[in-house]
Structure 1
Amino acid sequence: MSKILGMGNALVDILTRMENDEILENLEFPKGSMQLVDADTSAKILEQTASLPKEQASGGSAANTIHGLSNLGVNTGFFGKIGKDEMGAFFKSDMSAKNIEPLLLESDMDSGKAVALISPDSERTFATYLGAACELAADEITEDLFKGYSHFHIEGYLVYNQPLIEKALQMAKESRLIVSLDLASFNVVEDNLAFLKDMVAKYVDILFANEEEAKAFTQKENHEAVNAMAEDCNIAILKLGKEGSLIRQFNETVQVGTIDANSIDTTGAGDLYAAGFLYGLVNYLPLQKCGELGALLSGKVIEVVGPKMDETRWNTIKAEMDRILN
């Protein structure tokens, strides 16, 4: 039976809906980017947005993908590091509640948090304080971590600690797991391009990227970008937002559309696409169906604030999955 292990920054998302982009301009944050900030800057941003409506959810890219897979009935686990605080307890209980095996180490630092600044057009910009998450170290990656798992999904945001991500990828491959990597954010890719290219060529079977990430990774766009991505991995997935997605394996390229959706927040869209795609993959579905499941989940999650969906929405998704698969 397939079992998927996720690894990433264990963060609590603080989802903040802005009336305009003035806060981004004041902070000098490129819209749609992920910015690493220190504790003081994180506190300052929370102060500046104190009057705006907020919601809280356990987050982090890989954790969101694992949540999606667990909601679809896939056996999953998640490896990361949290603080011994209220947010750490919240993160752990949220994992356990979804039957995700919480392989969580603890630190004396505060748990990580990501302030998701949501623009009126639904684009989100992250100000991420890693906190305890950044204390995860390469020497904490052991062979035992991968026992019982068939797949390993890791987020590119971990690249701030290159020895950590390289050790994890190497040990996953040595343990014969199928490895998938989500490139995370265009500025992360730009800052670590040579290293990421090396890691993909050596260890990655499945590579996920959106348009901006793919352009940063390949210096190409659309079909040329997905072709270039696929040169160093088994399956390359290029997410094109409203234009759907392109999936390339060997000499075959599959084009997948989108579902009709009323987008209010794109947080988690790429993560849930990965969940749908990986669900199809572990169930041995053709690439077209894998992509359609990814499009279904990403289309549903952008209709809610944050990366999590309630049981009613998941039941709707499962009913629509039956239609796609039959």
Structure 2
Amino acid sequence: MSNGVARKYDVYAVGTALIDYQYALSETQSRQFSLEHGGTIINAEQEQELLQQLSKIDPVRVCGGSGANTLAVISQLGGKTFYSCKVAADEVGQLYQNNLHDAKIETDLQFDYKQATGKCFIIVLSDGERILHSFLGANCNLSPQDLRNDIIKNANYIFIEAFSSAVSASSKLTAETAIKIAKQCDTKVALTLSTCRPSFISRHDFVKTAGTGVDLLFCNEFEANFFCGTEQLNIAKEKLKAIAKQFVITLGKEGALLFDGNQFIKVPAYSSNAIDTTGAGDIFAGAFLFAITHGASFLQAGNLASFAAAKSVTRVGARLSTSIINEIKKEHMRAYSA
């Protein structure tokens, strides 16, 4: 709701459409492949080489990308969402479109006929370490013409990935344009640093993209420190005030630190048996945005998001099962009746 007028959509997102190819490897298996640990962006030739290397291992393929993961949670909890993104006119692109529909995320997904659909290869080792290789593909051609201005005007929030600044000049311009349009029609801007790494995006590009128009920022402790040029969270949290009106810093097992525009609020973590942390930050953002657009206070939204993130890491992948969604809904109702 903006200026007392109800809007159709809770969140409109524009982001990086990636199909997650999830592989579970032992340390022995991983030695058979020339896999660079950590995270990196690969080109089309490297993508094909990686697919060939891993061809004898069946991956779990899931519609991914921070924007889609975040919207999926909101939709599963009962919120109204819309996603603008770009995939190729190929089998993987069709899979992505079908997955969005299954998640009840509205979209006018655009097909690109020049590049393949983007992919994120997630190799999970036996010790829990993740190796990430991202092939951006069609995402490089996302342009301001792909934005739905009418939807932006009819949404409470737009959700932008800072990662867009690293994809291409065109996608960077798209993110900046979306923020500009949102500001013109009084739609709040939420921005996530999820999936951003020093090798992917510079502080300068991030600040240029964000400008002074961010209402709500999501990041983890590492991201907060890196983008503020410090190794001390106490310094970073003060510097973030110049970037966003409100923000959330997730702290892993320590919970999260919220800034509601006036004061800092500490939210504890819920205990869980972590199996896979893929997308935990996206789950947190999705639950938080759902709560905040459905009448919750900042503290209530933070607690629900912390609960959802704890549940998400107990299974493989960034999407939540129906049983976990039902648990989150019960927690949401319990918080309101307390």
Q: TM-score, normalised by structure 2?
A: 0.88
Choose between structure 1 and 2: higher helix proportion. Answer: 1
Give the Cα separation in 1 of the matches to 2:187 and 2:226.
27
Give the Cα separation in 2 of the matches to 1:249 and 1:223.
16
Aligned ranges for residues 146-157 of structure 1 at < 5 Å? 146-157=152-163
Aligned ranges for residues 209-228 of structure 1 at < 5 Å? 209-220=219-230, 221-228=232-239
Range with bigger deviation, 280-289 or 113-122 = 113-122
Residue of structure 2 in register with 1:16 after alignment: 23
Among residues 262, 273, 294, which one is paired with 1:262 in the alignment? Answer: 273
Give the Cα separation in 1 of the matches to 2:222 and 2:145.
33
Please state if 1:66 is matched with 2:71.
yes
Among residues 96, 103, 111, which one is paired with 2:101 in the alignment? Answer: 96
Aligned ranges for residues 173-252 of structure 1 at < 5 Å? 173-188=183-198, 191-220=201-230, 221-252=232-263
Which amino acid is the alignment partner of residue 236 of structure 1?
F
Contact 2:144 2:177 in 1 (8 A): yes
Shift of residue 53, structure 1, vs aligned partner = 5.3
Please state if 1:38 is matched with 2:43.
yes
Which amino acid is the alignment partner of residue 321 of structure 2?
D
Contact 2:17 2:64 in 1 (8 A): yes
C-alpha change, 1:154 and 1:288, in structure 2 (3 Å) is: same
C-alpha change, 1:299 and 1:121, in structure 2 (3 Å) is: farther
Identity across matched positions, percent: 27
Aligned ranges for residues 135-154 of structure 1 at < 5 Å? 135-141=141-147, 143-154=149-160
**SS at structure 1 position matched to 2:26:** coil
Give the Cα separation in 1 of the matches to 2:109 and 2:102.
15
Shift of residue 23, structure 1, vs aligned partner = 5.7
Unaligned runs of 5+ in 1: none
**SS at structure 1 position matched to 2:60:** strand
Give the Cα separation in 2 of the matches to 1:219 and 1:261.
32
Residue of structure 2 in register with 1:292 after alignment: 303
Contact 2:85 2:146 in 1 (8 A): no
Contact 1:189 1:196 in 2 (8 A): no
Which amino acid is the alignment partner of residue 281 of structure 2?
G
Shift of residue 296, structure 1, vs aligned partner = 1.3
RMSD of the TM alignment (CA)?
A: 2.2
**SS at structure 2 position matched to 1:120:** coil
